Structures are given as structure tokens and as C-alpha cells.
Structure 1
């Protein structure tokens, strides 16, 4: 039972830390942030299992983490109002070609990171961006100026 309680405490701590670290994808992490996550994993293992290196202890720790991850997933599915609180919400970072500096500071993004993501999306100039939205998963969605939504097709239409 001690392992389950320690695993629960570590899960909560890890969840809060990841939320505080911000919205970054693995590909956007600096080498230091990646090493930090690896080291955190080792430290968490030591804190959860303490001196219990048994198969049962490891299975209990992993099972507890999986239980809480699944519980949070179901909670956001069943109670949509919890989704923004637990998963975060999208944030507009460019509006009509103008960068919203306050939102960049809030998520610790730089202008260079936005320009890099624009280039990856095939957008050459900031003036060509109508909206850029930082998604809860860390990706940036771009909507180019003058882009019209695709026409809706009926289910019976042939493609």
C-alpha cells in the first residue's frame, strides 16, 4: 500500500510540474529539458519504489500511474468542463498578422519559435497569417489569410 500512496503523490507532483513547464512538444525541447525529463524519471522511480526492487513493487507503481492517467482521461471525457483545467486550452498567439506578445510571455515562446513553425508550415511572412493558435498539446496551428473553409460534401457524394 505504501508504494501506491507514494506513486499517487509522485503522479500528482509530476502532473503539476509538467503543466507548469508549459506546452512544448518533444521535438521543441532543448537538450537540457530532455535530459531533465530523463533524470526526473529516475528520481521518480527512486521516490516511488524506495528500496523495493521487486517485480510486485514495480507493477504496483506502474499500475498506479496508469490508473491515474486513465482516470484523468475519463474525467476530461465525461466532464468537458474539466478539460480546460486539466489539459489546458488553446491560446491565440498571432491575430491578423500581429503577434500577441502577452500570450507569448505566458507560454514562454519566442518570436523565433513562431517563425520556425511558420516556415515548417510553408508560410513565409507573418502578414500571411490570419491566426496562429498554440494548441494544448504544444503544436501551433496556422490559418493563412484568405484561406476559405473547404466545401462540405454530402455523404452520398463521390470523392
Structure 2
């Protein structure tokens, strides 16, 4: 039972830390951050299992993490308010070719990083973007000006 309690506490701490890190940091990791994540996993394991290297202890720790992940998934599915708190909300970074500086500051995103993502999406200038949205998982979605036209009825007909 001790392992389950420690695993639950570590799950809550890890969840809180990941939410504090922000969306963007999770979306793009440097090699150093990836190594730190692996080391963090080892430190968490040591904190949960102490000196228990048994298969039962590891199974209990993994099952506890899976249980809490499932609970959070179910809660976010069942209650939309909880979903926004657990998973976060998309945030608009560019609207009609204009940067929204306050939202970029909120997620610690620089213009250079945004422009880099734009180039990867094949967009050369901020003025060419109707919408840029930072998704809850850290990706940036771009909608070009003119791409957001409503679909016509003839487009929906089968060929």
C-alpha cells in the first residue's frame, strides 16, 4: 500500500510540474531536456519504490500511474470545465496577420520561435496567417489567409 500512496503523490507532483512547464516547452525538447526527462523518470522510480525492486512493486507503481491517468482522462471527458483545467486550452497567437503579444508572453514564446514554426509550415510572413493557435499539446496550428473559406455544397458531393 505504501507504493500506491507514494506513486499517487508522485503522479500529482509530476502532473503539476508538467502543467507549470507550459505547452511550448513540452512541444519542443532539446537533447538535454530529453536526457533530463529520462533522469527524472529514474528519480521518480526511486522515490516511489525505495529499495523494492520486485516485480510486484514495479507493477503496483505502473498500475497506479495508469489508474490516475485513466481517471484524469475520464474526468476531462465527462466535465468540459475539468478538461480545460486538466488539458489546457488552445491559445490564439496570431489573428488576421497580427501577433498577440500577451498570449505569446503567457506561454513564453518568442517571435523567432513562432517564425521558425511558420517556416516549417511553409508560411513566409506573419501577414499571410489568418490564425495561429497554440494547441494544448504544444503544437502550433496555422490557418493561412483565404484557407478558411466556407465549404460549398458542390464540394461535398461524391465524385
CA distance in 1, matches of 2:26, 2:138: 9
CA distance in 2, matches of 1:79, 1:43: 33
Deviations 1:83-127 (A, max 9, x none): 100000000111121211221111111111111111111111111
Tell me which residue corresponds to 2:120: 120
Tell me which residue corresponds to 1:11: 11
Q: Secondary structure of 2:46's match?
A: helix
Q: Is the 8 A contact 1:25 1:139 kept in 2?
A: no
Q: Secondary structure of 1:15's match?
A: helix
CA distance in 2, matches of 1:77, 1:27: 23
Gaps of 5+ in 2: none
Tell me which residue corresponds to 1:48: 48
Q: How many residues align?
A: 157
Tell me which residue corresponds to 1:149: 150
Tell me which residue corresponds to 2:75: 75
Tell me which residue corresponds to 1:38: 38
Shift of 1:151: 3.4
Change (3 A) 1:25 1:151: farther
Report the TM-score when normalising by structure 2.
0.92
Tell me which residue corresponds to 2:103: 103
Q: Secondary structure of 1:51's match?
A: coil
Q: Secondary structure of 2:142's match?
A: strand
Report the TM-score when normalising by structure 1.
0.92
After superposing on structure 2, the runs of 4+ consecutive aligned residues of structure 1 that deviate more than 6 Å are none
